[in-house]
Amino acid sequence: MKRRDFITTCGVVTAGTLVAPSWAMGSGGMKPGLQIYSVRSLLKEDFEGTVKKVAEVGYKNIEGYGLGPNGMFLGSIKPAHYASVIRDQGMSLIATHCSYTMADKAGPMIEAAAETGMEYMIVPGIPKNLRETIDQWKEIAENMNRLGEMCIESGLKFGYHNHAFEFEKIDGLIPQEVLIESTDAELVNFEADLFWVSKGGYDPLELIRKYPGRIRLLHVKDGNEEFEETTTGEGIIDFESIVKAGRRDAVEYYFIEDERLDNPIQHISDDFNFISNNKKIFK
C-alpha cells in the first residue's frame, strides 16, 4: 500500500453544497469523530477536564469506551453523567465500546447505552479463551445475534470492532469472515479498524467489497511499514481507496483512534489537523 492523502466522510457535492454525515461537517470545515480511548490515560486522571481538551481540539463526535456489564462507564461513571459531560462540551456521543458479555447478562449494559441516547453499542474484542476454535467463533456469532436483538429492542444498533487476531486462520478459516457470515445482517454490524485489519494481513478494501452493507463504521488509524502506529496521513494505509469504497457502501461513521500514550492530546491534534487541512479532498 502507498501513502495517500486521507479522504474521509461520505460527502457528495450537489449544487455547490457539501452534503455529509452530520458528525463530519460544520461551519469552517470538517469535524472528525474521535474514539476517546485515544486519551484513556488522561481520562482516568481528570474525566471532565480531558473531555474539554478533546472538544478544544475541534472534535464534534465521540465514540466512548469502558461501558461494563454493571452499566457503568470506566468502572464508576453513571451513563447520564458520562453523556452529559460530553454534550456539555458541544459534542455528540454517537457510540461506545463495551465489554463482551453473554446476552443473558447484558441487560444493564444495554440499558445504560440506551439511556445516553447514543446510536451504537460496540464490542471491541473477545477474550482469548473464548475464541480458540471455529466452533467457539460460531458460538460468539450466535450470542452476538442475541445481543443485536436486545439492542434493537432498546433503540440501539449492535456492532463488533476487530483487532488483528480475527484474521489469523484457524483450521484454514478466517474468524472475521466466519463471524460476519454467521451473524444476521439485520442484527450485527461491524466496525473495521483499518490499522488492525491491515496488520492482520487482510486488505480493508477487500473486506468492504466482500461484505457489502456489513461495515458500518471505520476506525481511522495509520501505521508505518513495520505496522507501528503513526499520525494519520504519515503511514501506509490507503485511506483514499478504502473510504471511497465505504462511500459507495454502507459506512456511516469514521472515528480517529490513536493508541499512542506518550503525548495523547498532541497526537489527536495532529490527526485532526491533517484531515482538517486537506479540504481539497472535498472539491
pLDDT digits (tens, 9 = 90+) for 139-187: 999 999 999 999 999 999 999 999 999 999 999 999 999 999 999 999 9
Pairing state of beta strands 157-161 and 120-123? parallel
- Chain centroid, CA 275 distance in Å: 17
Mean pLDDT of 233-246: 87
pLDDT band at 279; cut points 50, 70, 90: low
Host domain of residue 57: 12-278
Give the chain's domain count.
Answer: 1
- 283 inside domain: no
pLDDT band at 254; cut points 50, 70, 90: confident
Q: Residue 19: what pLDDT?
A: 32
**Burial annotation 10-40 (CB, 10 A radius, 16+ → b, else e):** bbeeeeeebebbebbbeeeebbbbbbbbbbb
CA-nearest of 281, 249, 279 to 30 is 279
Q: Residue 228: what pLDDT?
A: 96
Q: Residue 85: what pLDDT?
A: 98
CA-nearest of 199, 198, 193, 237 to 219 is 193
- 19 inside domain: yes
- 5 inside domain: no
The CATH number for 53's domain is 3.20.20.150
Say yes or no to pLDDT of 11 above 60: no
**CA–CA separation, 189 and 186 (whole Å):** 8
Q: Residue 200: what pLDDT?
A: 97
pLDDT band at 100; cut points 50, 70, 90: very high
- Would you say 137 and 143 are in contact if contact means Cβ atoms under 8 Å apart? no
- pTM of the predicted structure, to 2 decimals: 0.88
- 44 inside domain: yes
- 3 inside domain: no
Q: Which residue has the cell 471511497?
A: 244
- 269 inside domain: yes
pLDDT band at 278; cut points 50, 70, 90: low
Q: Is the model more confident about 71 or about 272? A: 71
% of the chain residues with pLDDT over 90: 78
Tens digits of residue pLDDT in 46-97:
999 999 999 999 999 999 999 999 999 999 999 999 999 999 999 999 999 9
Mean pLDDT score across all residues of the chain: 88
CA-nearest of 159, 250, 253 to 212 is 250
Say yes or no to pLDDT of 26 above 80: no
Q: Is the model more confident about 225 or about 5? A: 225
Distances (CA, A) of 241 to 8, 29, 231: 10, 22, 18
- Chain centroid, CA 81 distance in Å: 22
Close Cβ partners of 25 (under 8 Å, ≥ 6 residues apart): 9, 11, 18, 31
- 177 inside domain: yes
- 221 inside domain: yes
pLDDT band at 245; cut points 50, 70, 90: confident
CA-nearest of 222, 247, 218, 245 to 235 is 222
